[in-house]
Amino acid sequence: MSESDQGYSAVAEAGSVLERRSLWLRAWLELRKAPVSAWIGLVIIVSYVIVAVFAPWIAPYGEAEVHPQPYAPWGGDFIFGTDQIGRDVFTRLIYGARNTVGIAFVTTIIAFLMGGGLALAAAVRGGWIDQVLSRFVDVLMAIPNLIFALMLLSMFGSSLINIIMIIAILDSTRVFRLTRAVAMNVVVMDYVEAARLRGESIGWVMRREILPNILPPLVAEFGLRFCFVFLTIAALSFLGVGIQPPTADWGSMVRENAGLIQFAQYDIKAAITPLLPAGAIALLTVGVNFVVDWFLHKTSGLRDEH
């Protein structure tokens, strides 16, 4: 672009052409600017994922392997001792990462596919479809989540599929509300109208025109929603209707070993045992929130003034 050029040329018009950077380079640039909290969050998430994926190789014993000594103390063969029927607590913590995190992840994905898909359809089609879906979601949301989940689980039984589907459906209502709200802002754009005028199908409008433009808030919501699902599953397990033994799960581990807390005055280590899975839940939730905070801040266009 030459500035001395006095004639008019469309090509030379001043547009701000950004440097072409690869996805990895862009990600690295963003990460370099990321605050410490985001880094902490990322490290936490990555280590949980590694533990979950490589659980069988990391864990010293099998998931449901019973040892002769129940309530073994810390140290020796069992780093964190054993539980009430003699299973290694450390091993079960590691497998718990796989089960609790994995199930929460699958559940969140299903919730997003259902809630997000229906919300996009409601936003694009509008009219009675939107009304019916929105009112149905309102009805579901009117009932407290945990109580509703407990009721449904006692009706259908606590199988893994039931847990995943029930929590996914309940959480998809929240996803529906958010997706519909952000999609509504995009639906009114001229480019969506242009696509309709072209005669595009509703699926194309949803996937190609709207979805890419609402992705940032949805990704942030995915992080938060994952935390809620994760906590709900842990809570249900704690109440005994969640993931069933012998599958290792942090929520049920807290419940099974809760009684040990009373022995704090005799053996402080034993009393900490039920707090370990609780801590694992808390740490991951905090980590995910750190990352989501950073991501939201970055994509919402808020800039710190340097």
Partner 1 sequence: MSTDTDDSVLLEIRDLRIDGFSDERWHEIIKGVDLTLRRGQVMGLIGESGAGKSTLGLAAMGFARPGCRLTSGSIRFDGVELMDAPESEKRKLWGSRICYVAQSAAASFNPAHRLIEQTTEAALSHGLQSGAEAQAAARELYRAMQLPNPDTIGDRYPHQVSGGQLQRAMTAMAMASKPDLIIFDEPTTALDVTTQVGVLAAMRSVVEQFNTAAIYITHDLAVVAQMADVIKVLRFGETMEDAPTREMLSAPKHPYTKSLWSVRALQKEAEKSDDIVLDVRSVDAAYGSSKVLHDVSVRVPRGKTVAVVGESGSGKSTTARVITGLLPPSAGKVFFNGQALPAALRDRSVEQLRQIQMIYQSADTAMNPRHTVGDIIGRPLEFYHGLRGAAKQKRVLELLQLIELDGNFIDRLPGELSGGQKQRICIARALAAEPDVIICDEVTSALDQIVQEGILKLLLRLQKELGVTYVFITHDIAVVKAISDEIVVMLEGRVVQQDIKDHVLSPPQPEYTRRLLASVPEMDPDWLTRLLEEQADVVARADGD
Does 11 bind partner 1 (CB under 8 A)? Our answer is yes
Nearer to partner 1 among residue 76 and residue 199 (C-beta): 199
Binding mask 275-304 for partner 1 (x = CB under 8 A): ----------------------------x-
255, 235 contact by CB (below 8 A): no
Least CB distance to partner 1 at residue 302 (A): 11
Q: How far apart are CA 173 and CA 126, in angstroms?
A: 17
Does 32 bind partner 1 (CB under 8 A)? Our answer is no
Q: How far apart are CA 288 and CA 203, in angstroms?
A: 32
Does 2 bind partner 1 (CB under 8 A)? Our answer is no
229, 104 contact by CB (below 8 A): yes
Does 15 bind partner 1 (CB under 8 A)? Our answer is yes
222, 108 contact by CB (below 8 A): yes
Binding mask 186-205 for partner 1 (x = CB under 8 A): ---xxx-xx-xxxxx-----
Nearer to partner 1 among residue 84 and residue 300 (C-beta): 300
Nearer to partner 1 among residue 209 and residue 249 (C-beta): 209
Binding mask 209-228 for partner 1 (x = CB under 8 A): x--xx---------------
Does 13 bind partner 1 (CB under 8 A)? Our answer is yes
Residue 274 preceded by cis peptide, ω within 30:
no
Nearer to partner 1 among residue 37 and residue 213 (C-beta): 213
- CA 235, distance to chain mean position in Å, is 16
Does 143 bind partner 1 (CB under 8 A)? Our answer is no
Q: Which of 25, 27, 28, 29 is in the footprint of partner 1 by CB under 8 A?
A: 29
Does 17 bind partner 1 (CB under 8 A)? Our answer is yes
Residues that bind partner 1 (CB under 8 A): 3, 6-11, 13-19, 29, 189-191, 193-194, 196-200, 208-209, 212-213, 303, 305
